[in-house]
Chain A
Amino acid sequence: MPGVMIVEDDASLREMLKEALEKRKYTVIAASDGREALAKFRPSVIDLVITDLLMPEEDGLKVIMKVKEKKPETKIIAISGGGKAGPGSYLLIARKLGADQVFSKPFLPSELIQKVKDIIG
């Protein structure tokens, strides 16, 4: 099954997304910040990265750039819930960096999972 990496600093949301995706038989690797994500990223396993944008340590934009560097065909879904620069503009930057889809919190996880299915099957 395709591999999905979840990068999210909020533990409960990270757990929930992990559970929801594992239920649909995806291989899921979770990371709590950008640094951990980049350390755990395995090009051979991961097809899609779902990343929050505002995180301590390395932020989501950095994750997108580094992941695209390591494996350009990796699909990206960026999620964000606000912040000083405005989620809109952050998400826009994310898209410019190559995010295939962006979600503003709060979103319905079913929608996210639908998108994951659309993108990597």
Chain B
Amino acid sequence: MGDSIHNSDKRHPWYSWYKWLPPGKRTLRELKHQTFFLEQIVNSSRSMVSIINRDYVYEKVNKTFCINHDRVSDHIVGCHLKDIWGPDNFVNNIKGNLDKCFNGKVVFYQAFFETPVWGKRYYEVVMRPVEDNHKKVTHALTETFDITEIKLKQQAAIEIEWEFRNLESNLPIGFFRCDLNGRLLNVNRAFTRITGAENENDLIGHSVRESYSEPELFEIHLKTLLAENVTSLGHVILKKSDGQDIICRISAFVVRDGSGNPVYIDGAIEDFTREADLEKRLQQSHKLDTIGLLAGGIAHDFNTILTTIYGYSEMSLEGLDTSSEAYQNIKKIIQALGRARSLTSQILTFSRQVGQEKISVRVLDILQETLGFIKPSVPDSVILEDIINAPDIKIKADPTQLFRVFINLINNAMQAMEANGGRLTITLDSRKRADINTFIAGKKSDGEFASIKFADTGPGMEESVAGRIFEPFYTTRKHGKGNGLGLSVVYGIVSELEGDILVNSKINEGTSIDVIIPLDSDVTDRADTVEPRANLLLIPENDNEANIIAIALSNSGYSVVSCNPVNNWIEKAGIADLVIIFDKSPEMPANDLLFSLSETGVTTPVLMISDFDIWLASEKEVSSDIVKANLFKPVSLKEIVYSIDSLINKIS
């Protein structure tokens, strides 16, 4: 008897382990001997090992089990599982699995269990059915391994992977893997987005070479990568799937196997088109700043020299017969000086050395006055169209300078379309920062911008020309047509307003120039009850240029009335604090107006705003006692306000 395993103690808990012993060794004595060793092994295991019967009661536990529960074996054996692990845990985690095991299945699962010694830990549990010789499952052999450390590491790895995936899918960096010939094996979503493909599958299998706008460069890159350990390949021009060129920064490296043989190429691309464009424009803006500094310095010295020439010319005129040749020649010198003066003033505006008086102004008001001013001179072959999408937007600017910007840009477009006619579309819009590719505009504001876009259907410009149009004296026109300062002046004024100008031009399609100026964020309206700074009478009314000055002055806190010099204008002049006469000679000779004023004994001071040339040419018959100050176009709000204030202060 007894030698057979089946005849040994059938219910011995280590029964199932006996089966693993070599058949020849299975004597009872040997078995007992072996059992002792097995118990040693089982007891020294770091896992908790136990035998559970079908009543869910422990029949045998190993030493680790006891240690973990801080109890001796006798206090565990005979206990129901729910008394050891708690009723909830038993029902939720253990019972179901045990039942499966009792049905003959080997069960693996992982769960949190709490032991008195270690507290809550994460365990992997293996339950194996133990059969009697009738193949009936009588017990479950369970091993419980503490896998908390592994689990934590796993979780950390998952988190890292998750975070990396998150980065990889959200960052605008396109990752790719390709074979050694450049054929794409794998790409991420950003890569698809940058290259403009519909989805990843459209790209896989294609060569990166196809995306290069210069395929020779691809060959060079491939060679460099394989030969040297270069990772940054610099900027390349790639073609999107719609044919559009994009500038990308590309970096890649060769993935090698254990023996150092190249296997793949892994790399990343970043769309740099926007930045490259900005960089180019930043360089242009630096260049313009440098030119401005230089030109401004020269203009400053020139103004001093011009003053000296003016002085000696004037002194030489004294006592000369007006019909003499010398008199006429000196007059011509003075006229030429007028042109020089206008040049230096434009250069100073370009170099932003003329501070601007900025007031809150509705863009549409100025745009409409400009259009009113320009319309009579628009040739029939040109259609002028305005699209006003944002009629109420306000910016902080000097209206007279804004007028200069608009006039210059419109004139420029007109000249571009002079030969063949076309259409000039002026669009007024408000735009969000994110929609504008600018770095200059409104550094101090992250709000919205006014966009005034002048789009013509002229011949367009080459990129090399478009990049230089704001440089002073740069002109593509024939000599004698403009001095090449118009756009420089525009640039200077807009820069002073913390604005930017975006130029877009295509040969044979036309040019669009988009002036971007930060909106006036201060929405508080001027209280109407505030006493006006002064009562002004502006003559004439219904003149676009004079209207702009009226807008500028009333927005600066003056009460402005405009009227034409008819009937009761003298009366109005009498009660005003100051009369501003906008000299529109020869239709309305300023001399006549001054004469009428002095004749009726009106003592209100007069501020004249005239064209320098016209003013020089006119004979001043009336004593300058009435005209207290003279300003010459183009005049800035700052100059007008200053003159008004000093005139009014003098009276009071």
- A: which residues have CB within 8 A of B? 10, 12-13, 16-17, 19-20, 23, 54, 79, 81-84, 86-89, 91-92, 95, 101-102, 104-111, 114
Contacts and interface: CB of A to CB of B under 8 A. Distances in A.
Interface in B635-652: 636, 638-639, 642, 646
Interface in B289-312: 296, 299-301, 303-308, 310-312
Contacts of B315: 16, 19-20, 23, 109
A90 to B, nearest CB: 9
Interface of B: 296, 299-301, 303-308, 310-312, 314-315, 337, 340-341, 344, 348, 352-356, 624, 630, 636, 638-639, 642, 646
Contact of A84 (B303, B353, B642): B353
26 contacts: A10-B304, A13-B304, A13-B307, A16-B312, A54-B300, A79-B307, A81-B303, A82-B296, A82-B348, A83-B353, A84-B296, A86-B352, A88-B356, A88-B638, A89-B355, A101-B646, A104-B639, A105-B300, A105-B303, A106-B303, A106-B307, A106-B310, A106-B337, A106-B340, A106-B341, A114-B624
Contacts of B624: 114
A101 B639 CA distance: 12
B422 to A, nearest CB: 38
A84 B299 CA distance: 12
A102 B306 CA distance: 17
A13 B308 contact: yes
B311 A20 contact: yes
B306 A106 contact: yes
Contacts of A86: 352-355
Given A10-B301, A19-B315, A105-B304, 8 more contacts: A12-B308, A13-B304, A13-B311, A81-B300, A88-B639, A101-B646, A105-B300, A106-B337
Contacts of B356: 88
A114 B341 CA distance: 21
A12 B305 contact: yes
A13 B301 CA distance: 11
Nearest to B315: A20
Contacts of A81: 300-301, 303-304, 307
Contact of A106 (B296, B344, B642): B344
A92 B315 CA distance: 30
A108 B314 contact: yes
Given A82-B348, A86-B353, A101-B646, A108 B304 contact: no
A10 B304 CA distance: 7
A111 B308 contact: no
Nearest to B337: A106
Contact of B353 (A10, A79, A87, A91): A87
Most chain B CB inside 10 Å of its own CB: which residue of A16, A91, A107, A108: A108
A108 B61 CA distance: 114
B594 to A, nearest CB: 15
A17 B311 contact: yes
A116 B296 CA distance: 29
A95 B646 contact: yes
Most chain B CB inside 10 Å of its own CB: which residue of A12, A79, A105, A110: A105
A62 B556 CA distance: 31
Contacts of A91: 642
Nearest to B357: A88
Most chain A CB inside 10 Å of its own CB: which residue of B305, B352, B639: B305
A104 B302 CA distance: 12
Contact of B642 (A54, A95, A105): A95
Nearest to B344: A106
A88 B356 CA distance: 8
A100 to B, nearest CB: 8
Contacts of A10: 301, 304-305, 308
Contacts of A114: 624
Most chain A CB inside 10 Å of its own CB: which residue of B310, B636, B642: B310
Contacts of B299: 82
A104 B642 CA distance: 12
A17 B310 CA distance: 11
A79 B306 CA distance: 13
A12 B8 CA distance: 131
Nearest to A89: B355
Contacts of A82: 296, 299-300, 303, 348, 353-354
A101 to B, nearest CB: 7
A108 B612 CA distance: 11
A45 to B, nearest CB: 23
Nearest to A13: B308
A88 B354 contact: yes
Contact of B314 (A92, A105, A109): A109
Contacts of B354: 82, 86-88
A91 B303 CA distance: 15
Contacts of A109: 307, 310-311, 314-315
Contacts of B642: 91-92, 95, 102
B528 to A, nearest CB: 28
A48 to B, nearest CB: 16
B333 to A, nearest CB: 13
Nearest to A16: B311
A109 B355 CA distance: 24
A107 B353 contact: no
A11 to B, nearest CB: 9
Contacts of A104: 303, 639
Nearest to A82: B300
Contacts of B344: 106
A105 B638 contact: no
A106 to B, nearest CB: 4
A91 B357 CA distance: 13
A73 to B, nearest CB: 16
A29 to B, nearest CB: 18
Contact of A16 (B301, B308, B355, B638): B308
Contacts of A111: 630
A106 B345 CA distance: 9
Contact of A107 (B307, B348, B639): B307
Nearest to A81: B303
B307 A83 contact: no
A16 B354 CA distance: 26
A101 B645 CA distance: 11
A81 B323 CA distance: 34
A65 B308 CA distance: 27
A111 B631 CA distance: 12
A108 B306 CA distance: 9
Contacts of A17: 311
Contacts of B305: 10, 12-13
